[in-house]
A and B are shown apart, each in its own frame.
Chain A
Amino acid sequence: MQARIAESDRAARVREGVQRKPRRFGDGWRAALFLLPTLVFALVFVYAPAAMSLVLGFYHYHFMGVGTTFAGLSDFRSALTYPIFWLALEHTLIYALYMVPLTLAGAVAIAVLIDGKSRLYSTIRTLVLLPYITPVIATSIGWLWMFNPQYGILNTVLHWLHLPPSQWLLSSTMAMPSVVLYSLWHGLGFNVVIVLSTLSGIPRPVWEAAAVDGATGCQRFFRVTLPLISPTLFFLAVVTTIGSLQAFSQIYALSGGTGGPEYATTTLLLLIYQTAFQYFHFSYAAAMAMLLVLLILILTFIQNWLSKRWVFYQ
């Protein structure tokens, strides 16, 4: 009894305390303290550099900080008249054009194939995901060896299939597809897992209803499954596009840091890296980075426009 009185007494006091607080300000100061770390990091390493990136391309910034002079559009002009820049732009787009459709198609195919509760399928899911967590530089060593034109396993397989051997990374036409092959091996598992989790979220009655209506396996896939997972596919298309524009480690490792042979694997990001951090032309590289960002904005815009046409939102 006494305890209950004490309890209610305390509750009343707390309520009173709450009422005495000026409600208008709420938890303002406390919230500011809680948000401080995130905001400071974001300010120093995201907002400020983002603002800087808008102007960096217009200035000649000297590496040792000797002085900064206004350069106007000269760096943009020299980037746009530099043939390697256009080549790198082309390679960036080609890489993304390989990666996005192959990733989506591959992920859906594998996910549909191993969609099931059995032990075998969950083991295979683990194997498919395994490369995703491995470090790119370390695992590209094994691939470099497999790509070896003389002793690599890939040419041996081509030989078994009675196909002509390839120079893989040493040929200017096959180097980019070889990098794509590595990237698919490394990243497909992530996409498979995401598609599988969406598939498991589709209620069974939906499929059963389609089957009762006499839909074939093929029809069920194209008319029911695909529309239902299209929001996820759109998400993966966006993530894969962003990821392929950021691809760096695998290109660096598989081309020996050169972007070769004959610039065949030089993407914009690699060119920006080489220009800024090997030749120390900062403003020139910053101008190219701005052009790359422009490209990303355009691609995002196109994807959003396309999504309105084919993504089915429930």
Chain B
Amino acid sequence: MSSSAKVHRESRWPRSRVGRRLGITSRAGLALVVGLLFLFPLYVAWVTSLDTAAHVFTVPPHLVPDFDFNAYRRVWHMARWLMYLGNSAFITTATLAIALSSSVLSAYAFSFLRFKGSNAVFMGILVVLMIPAEALLIPNYVILQVFHLLNTYWAQILPYGASVFGVFLLRQSFLSLPNSYWEAAKLDGASHLRFLWSVALPLAKPALFTIGLYIFIGCWNAFQWPLIVTTSHSVQPIEVAVSRLMMAHSVDWRRLSAAGIMTTFPLVIAFFILQRHIVRGISRGEGLQE
């Protein structure tokens, strides 16, 4: 058989209509299995949290929920969850506010203000991306100690006050606005801040959402830094509280699962509501590769 004939035959895959339908169905089936595999660990935790005591330690594992809410009731009284939740919310909100405003202002300066050394300063900021976070762990702890900021909310907020990723992405977004917009606004007597607020920012909404999303995920799920810089419970985020519960009650699977589900659930709900935007926002984060 000549090689060209072989290639030709294979290129007509799938050949028959039945074959094509079979191909589509098996691909969809395989995809569905993959999707469910990713959901499964959350499902296991959910079922375990709702099990009755008799159904936890069983072989094979019990995979139908009993809807016994006792574990939740008991775990609720084991820690001040609302306080930890409030801490997480405050730290995340403050970081978002500070990091977003600082990067918006810098990105604006790089795109609409003319000044000497603009490129040099921009490069200087991009250098931050090349400094590995591991190098900063210990010196940043020392710096916070010098400022007497250990064990405060600020210790968990200020180190993330500058977002180089944010400056970069917003600058790209601002640069896509024609300079004539600013010229026109200037003729109407608008100041830079006014133009930034009323024209530039609304047009940069997608970039703002992407940056906010990455900051939110990083901040809400932060664990290592809060673990290092806080010791008093009153300023700790919920992740640290859950980890403490894990170390203390390592065999009470129902209560642990309940705590895990309790902290994951709000995020899952928010994710499903915003999923379209989140997928688009994460894809945009790829903009950093150039």
Q: Which of B11, B39, B162, B187 contacts A38 (CB 8 A)?
A: B162
Interface residues in A55-97 by Cβ distance below 8 A to B read 56, 61, 65
A140 to B135, CA, bound (A): 27
Interface residues in A1-51 by Cβ distance below 8 A to B read 10-11, 14, 25-28, 30-32, 34-35, 37-39, 41-42, 44-50
Sample of 18 further A-B pairs with CB below 8 A, known A39-B106, A216-B11: A28-B116, A30-B109, A37-B105, A38-B105, A41-B159, A42-B162, A46-B162, A52-B143, A65-B145, A110-B34, A129-B282, A135-B264, A145-B45, A185-B41, A189-B38, A246-B134, A252-B243, A276-B138
Q: Is the CB of B7 within 8 A of A139?
A: no
Complex interface bits, B84-118 against A, C-beta within 8 A gives 1, otherwise 0? 00000000000000100111011011000111101
Is B268 part of the binding interface, using a Cβ–Cβ cutoff of 8 Å? yes
Q: Is the CB of B38 within 8 A of A131?
A: yes
Q: How far is the CB of A265 from chain B (nearest CB, A)?
A: 15
Residue ID in chain A nearest B145 by CB atoms:
A65
Q: Is the CB of B113 within 8 A of A45?
A: no
Is A176 part of the binding interface, using a Cβ–Cβ cutoff of 8 Å? no
Is B69 part of the binding interface, using a Cβ–Cβ cutoff of 8 Å? no
Q: Is the CB of B192 within 8 A of A30?
A: yes
Answer whether A31 and B109 are a contact pair too, CB < 8 Å, given A37-B162, A135-B220, A256-B250.
yes
29 A-B Cβ contacts within 8 A? A10-B187, A11-B187, A34-B105, A38-B105, A39-B121, A39-B125, A45-B161, A49-B140, A113-B31, A123-B35, A124-B34, A125-B279, A126-B279, A127-B35, A130-B39, A133-B217, A133-B278, A136-B221, A136-B239, A137-B240, A137-B246, A142-B48, A142-B257, A145-B44, A146-B44, A188-B38, A194-B282, A293-B134, A296-B132
Q: Which of B131, B137, B141, B253 contacts A46 (CB 8 A)?
A: B131
A142 to B246, CA, bound (A): 11
Q: Is the CB of B28 within 8 A of A277?
A: no
Q: Is the CB of A128 within 8 A of B138?
A: no
Is B82 part of the binding interface, using a Cβ–Cβ cutoff of 8 Å? no
Q: Is the CB of A296 within 8 A of B109?
A: no
Is B80 part of the binding interface, using a Cβ–Cβ cutoff of 8 Å? no
Residues of chain A contacted by B4 (CB below 8 angstroms): 214
Residues of chain B contacted by A113 (CB below 8 angstroms): 27, 30-31, 34
Residues of chain B contacted by A141 (CB below 8 angstroms): 45, 242, 246, 256-257, 259-260
Residues of chain A contacted by B152 (CB below 8 angstroms): none
A242 to B132, CA, bound (A): 8
Is A171 part of the binding interface, using a Cβ–Cβ cutoff of 8 Å? no
In order of increasing CB-CB distance, the 9 nearest A-B pairs are A142-B45, A49-B139, A197-B283, A124-B35, A41-B162, A41-B161, A37-B102, A141-B260, A26-B114
Q: What number of A-B contacts does a CB cutoff of 8 Å give?
A: 308
Q: How far is the CB of A287 from chain B (nearest CB, A)?
A: 10
A10 to B184, CA, bound (A): 13
Q: How many residues of A are counted as interface, with CB atoms below 8 angstroms from the partner's CB atoms? A: 103
Q: Which of A34, A124, A198, A214 contacts B11 (CB 8 A)?
A: A214
Q: How far is the CB of B88 from chain A (nearest CB, A)?
A: 9
Q: Which of A37, A123, A268, A290 contacts B106 (CB 8 A)?
A: A37
Residues of chain A contacted by B239 (CB below 8 angstroms): 135-138, 249
Residues of chain B contacted by A235 (CB below 8 angstroms): 286, 288-289
Residues of chain B contacted by A292 (CB below 8 angstroms): 132, 134-135
Q: How far is the CB of B267 from chain A (nearest CB, A)?
A: 6
Q: How far is the CB of B271 from chain A (nearest CB, A)?
A: 5
Interface hub of A124, A242, A272 (most chain B Cβ within 10 A): A124
Answer whether A38 and B103 are a contact pair too, CB < 8 Å, given A30-B113, A124-B31, A151-B58.
yes
Interface residues in A213-230 by Cβ distance below 8 A to B read 214-217
Q: Is the CB of A38 within 8 A of B289?
A: no
Q: Is the CB of A142 within 8 A of B42?
A: yes
Q: How far is the CB of A180 from chain B (nearest CB, A)?
A: 15
Answer whether A42 and B136 are a contact pair too, CB < 8 Å, given A37-B106, A113-B27, A126-B272.
no
Q: How far is the CB of A69 from chain B (nearest CB, A)?
A: 15
Q: Is the CB of B11 within 8 A of A128?
A: no
Residues of chain A contacted by B56 (CB below 8 angstroms): 151
Residues of chain A contacted by B63 (CB below 8 angstroms): 153
Is B36 part of the binding interface, using a Cβ–Cβ cutoff of 8 Å? yes
Q: Is the CB of B143 within 8 A of A130?
A: no
Is B60 part of the binding interface, using a Cβ–Cβ cutoff of 8 Å? yes
Answer whether A134 and B42 are a contact pair too, CB < 8 Å, given A41-B162, A124-B32.
yes
Residues of chain B contacted by A153 (CB below 8 angstroms): 44, 60-61, 63
Residue ID in chain A nearest B228 by CB atoms:
A277
Residues of chain B contacted by A286 (CB below 8 angstroms): 138-139
Is A211 part of the binding interface, using a Cβ–Cβ cutoff of 8 Å? yes
A198 to B28, CA, bound (A): 21
Is B128 part of the binding interface, using a Cβ–Cβ cutoff of 8 Å? yes
Residues of chain A contacted by B98 (CB below 8 angstroms): 37
Residue ID in chain B nearest A275 by CB atoms:
B138
